[in-house]
């Protein structure tokens, strides 16, 4: 065997007469050089084998990458080491793991290099191993930021995970002599093993990430199907998505009547009150994609011209995902990260899109379940109303007719006639109360009543929260047919005022509201009369019971 500096006397020919002098010539010339080249790597071989085995011992990706930088720097005897992770979609560095730099030095260097220029950019764009002995003399070296430690030499190799370039490993400033081909070979071996370890760590991290998103989607579905109201359901979706995506905020937008979109629910670490109500104006470029059911991915919300909302300046990378099911667009789920935050990876985008699809389906199912429950309540109330009308009212009315007939036959009997008259009046009042209850039961639950009768009942129900009991309400005549705007609004205003006054009087135990649409005013003209009577202590100290009367011609 002959090395680069060997001195074989016969120009490579093997002859028998010459073996004797070889031991004497060995210490002086070729054998000494060969010994250097052969034995230099040997002390590092056990360290290399140990490093190869150690790189793959941890499935946590950041730990694996930092260990790789530390090991490579130590084996090569370099002062500085770095591993840059490349975003395959954008071709730029997204993370940098270093050895030999203090945190203060990293802060002075500033943000990560873009990977578009200099030797760092060369390795990103052309992932090939390289050795540079003098960076200052190399024309490819440029773009060194201020505050960067002085470096003269550089060695770098790409790290491949299967057929994809994951990143590049850089070493600089060897402590003893220049970087050699043996250093490069060692880094190639270490990089190849690192590629396998990184692939396993990425698969493990992807599996954990998918598990978290699946569990989050299941939690949302369970929460929505346990009977949350629509607003709470949207907040649940926003909050779960924010935590899973590591976002600064999670918001849900819904289409507006004008053709835009409005934030109707938000989840943030702080008070989200200033975010709710923010709108995207009709015609916004981002709105065209959202209304078309397409996801929108934004690098920087503060500078992207498609973003027009007033809150965009506080956010950076963002995902806007349509919530649609069966071709129906329910809204949009937006997940913005803080300003200058980490961009979303392709895996995160995929998982968030799948989560949005499952959340939309859960919202549709929850809405359908809520509608079924409301329908069941309405049907039950309708049945009760029919029973009251068909049984109770008819029996009461028959009893009233019998009493009225008895009173006519016993006319002139004095006290008995008076008692029968009072019984008839009480039955008539009871019939009116039952009819009012029937009408209230027939109102769709949780809906704002459109009829005047329903609005009066709603005012009475609202007053019950203050009074501690529900006022008695009675209607006379076809109030819905006879009362129109603006007369009905003035009557409702008078009713609110009378109920508020009754609440202010002490010891009120009952309030009666009587609305008569067939009343005759003192001058004989047809009108409407509102009478509100309570049993509280009168303000003038004249005993108990106050009656407020309001009337107007129709």
> Which pLDDT value is given to residue 35?
36
What is the rounded CA–CA span in Å between residue 332 and residue 348?
Answer: 17
Domain 61-206: give its CATH superfamily: GAF domain (3.30.450.40)
For residue range 489-532, what is the model confidence (pLDDT) as tens digits? 889 888 988 888 888 888 888 899 999 988 888 888 889 999 99
CATH topology classification for 222-365: Beta-Lactamase (3.30.450)
What is the rounded CA–CA span in Å between residue 21 and residue 136?
Answer: 48
Measured CA to CA in angstroms, residue 544 lies from 146, 159, 504 at distances of 88, 92, 14
Residue 52: is its pLDDT beyond 80? no
Torsions phi, psi for 158 (to 5 deg): -80, 150
> Which pLDDT value is given to residue 53?
65
Same-fold call for 61-206 versus 449-554: no
> Which pLDDT value is given to residue 464?
81
pLDDT band at 31; cut points 50, 70, 90: very low
> Which pLDDT value is given to residue 12?
39
For residue range 227-277, what is the model confidence (pLDDT) as tens digits? 666 677 788 888 889 998 888 888 888 888 888 888 888 888 776 667 888
**Out of 27-36, 60-69, 74-83, which region has the weakest mean confidence (pLDDT)?**
27-36
Task: Tell me the CATH architecture of domain 449-554.
Answer: 2-Layer Sandwich (3.30)
> Which pLDDT value is given to residue 121?
64
Percentage of the chain with pLDDT > 70? 72
Which of 356, 203, 205 minimizes the C-alpha distance to 290? Answer: 356
Where b means 16+ CB within 10 Å and e means fewer, 273-302 reads: eebeebbbeeebebbebbbeeebbebebbe
Locate the domains of the chain by residue range.
61-206, 222-365, 449-554
What is the rounded CA–CA span in Å between residue 73 and residue 172?
Answer: 9
What is the rounded CA–CA span in Å between residue 52 and residue 67?
Answer: 11
Instruction: Please check whether residue 527 is in contact with residue 554, taking contact to mean a CB–CB distance below 8 angstroms.
Output: yes
**Ramachandran class of 284: left when φ > 0, alpha when ψ lies in -120 to 50, beta otherwise:** beta
Which of 83, 245, 249, 268 minimizes the C-alpha distance to 159? Answer: 83
> Which pLDDT value is given to residue 311?
81
Residue with tokens 């990876």, as numbered in its chain: 345
The arithmetic mean of pLDDT across residues 345-349, rounded, is 86
61-76 and 181-224 are packed helices; what angle lies between their axes, rounded to 10 degrees? Answer: 170
Residue 109: is its pLDDT beyond 50? yes
> Which pLDDT value is given to residue 284?
81
Residue with tokens 């670490």, as numbered in its chain: 269
Cα 73 vs. chain centroid, distance in angstroms? 42
26-35, 108-117, 367-376, 463-472: range with highest mean pLDDT = 463-472
Mean pLDDT score across all residues of the chain: 76
Q: Which helix (H) or strand (E) holds 82?
A: strand 78-87
The arithmetic mean of pLDDT across residues 114-127, rounded, is 65
40-44, 103-107, 237-241: range with highest mean pLDDT = 237-241
Tokens representing 108 are: 């002075």
What is the rounded CA–CA span in Å between residue 403 and residue 157?
Answer: 107
Which of 277, 209, 270, 268 minimizes the C-alpha distance to 244? Answer: 209
The arithmetic mean of pLDDT across residues 417-424, rounded, is 69
> Which pLDDT value is given to residue 8?
37
Q: What is the largest CA-CA distance in the chain?
A: 164
What is the rounded CA–CA span in Å between residue 325 and residue 364?
Answer: 7
The arithmetic mean of pLDDT across residues 413-429, rounded, is 67
Residue 436: is its pLDDT beyond 70? no
> Which pLDDT value is given to residue 54?
64
Tokens representing 531 are: 């009478």
> Which pLDDT value is given to residue 58?
65
What is the rounded CA–CA span in Å between residue 526 and residue 547?
Answer: 21
Instruction: Please check whether residue 185 is in contact with residue 161, taking contact to mean a CB–CB distance below 8 angstroms.
Output: no
Cα 217 vs. chain centroid, distance in angstroms? 12
């Amino acid at each position: 065997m002959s090395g680069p500096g060997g001195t074989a006397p016969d120009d490579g020919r093997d002859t028998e007469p010459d073996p004797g002098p070889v031991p004497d010539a060995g210490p002086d010339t070729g054998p000494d050089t060969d010994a250097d080249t052969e034995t230099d790597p040997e002390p590092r071989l056990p360290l290399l084998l140990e490093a190869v085995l150690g790189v793959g011992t941890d499935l946590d990706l950041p730990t694996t990458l930092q260990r790789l930088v530390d090991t490579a720097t130590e084996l090569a005897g370099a002062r500085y080491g770095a591993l840059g992770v490349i975003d395959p979609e954008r071709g730029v560095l997204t993370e940098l793991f270093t050895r030999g730099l203090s945190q203060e030095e990293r802060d002075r260097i500033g943000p990560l290099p873009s990977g578009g220029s200099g030797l760092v950019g060369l390795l990103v764009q052309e992932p090939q191993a390289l050795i540079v002995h003098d960076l200052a003399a190399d024309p490819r070296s440029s773009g060194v930021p201020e505050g960067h430690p002085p470096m003269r030499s550089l060695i770098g190799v790409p790290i491949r995970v299967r057929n994809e370039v994951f990143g590049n490993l850089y070493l600089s400033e060897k402590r003893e002599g220049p970087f050699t081909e043996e250093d490069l070979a060692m880094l190639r071996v270490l990089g190849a093993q690192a590629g396998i370890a990184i692939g396993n760590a990425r698969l493990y991290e992807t599996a954990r990430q998918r598990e978290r998103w699946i569990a989050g989607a299941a939690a949302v579905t369970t929460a929505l199907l346990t009977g949350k109201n629509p607003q709470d359901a949207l907040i649940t979706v926003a909050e779960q998505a924010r935590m899973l995506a590591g976002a600064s905020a999670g918001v849900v937008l819904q289409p507006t009547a004008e053709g835009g979109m409005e934030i109707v629910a938000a989840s943030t670490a702080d008070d989200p009150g200033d975010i709710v109500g923010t709108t995207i104006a009709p015609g916004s470029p981002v709105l065209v994609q959202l209304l078309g059911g397409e996801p929108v991915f934004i690098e920087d919300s503060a500078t992207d011209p498609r973003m027009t909302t007033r809150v965009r300046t506080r956010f950076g990378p963002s995902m806007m995902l349509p919530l649609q099911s069966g071709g129906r667009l329910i809204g949009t789920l937006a997940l913005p990260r803080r300003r200058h935050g980490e961009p979303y990876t392709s895996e995160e985008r995929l998982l968030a899109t799948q989560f949005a699809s499952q959340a939309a389906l859960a919202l549709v199912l929850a809405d359908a379940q809520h509608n079924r429950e409301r329908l069941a309540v309405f049907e039950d109330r309708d049945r009760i109303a029919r029973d009251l009308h068909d049984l109770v009212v008819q029996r009461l009315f028959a009893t009233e007719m019998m009493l009225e007939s008895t009173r006519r036959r016993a006319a002139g009997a004095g006290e008995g006639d008076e008692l029968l008259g009072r019984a008839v009046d009480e039955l008539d009042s009871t019939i009116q109360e039952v009819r009012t209850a029937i009408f209230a039961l027939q109102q769709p639950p949780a809906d704002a009543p459109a009829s005047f009768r329903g609005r009066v009942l709603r005012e009475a129900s609202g007053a019950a929260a203050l009074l501690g009991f529900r006022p008695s309400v009675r209607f006379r005549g076809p109030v819905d047919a006879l009362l129109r705007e603006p007369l009905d609004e003035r009557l409702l205003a008078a009713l609110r005022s009378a109920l508020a006054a009754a609440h202010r009087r002490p010891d009120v135990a009952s309030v009666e509201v009587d609305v008569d649409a067939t009343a005759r005013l003192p001058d004989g003209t047809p009108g409407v009369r509102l009478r509100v009577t309570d049993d509280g202590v009168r303000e003038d100290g004249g005993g108990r019971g106050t009656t407020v009367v309001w009337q107007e011609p129709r």
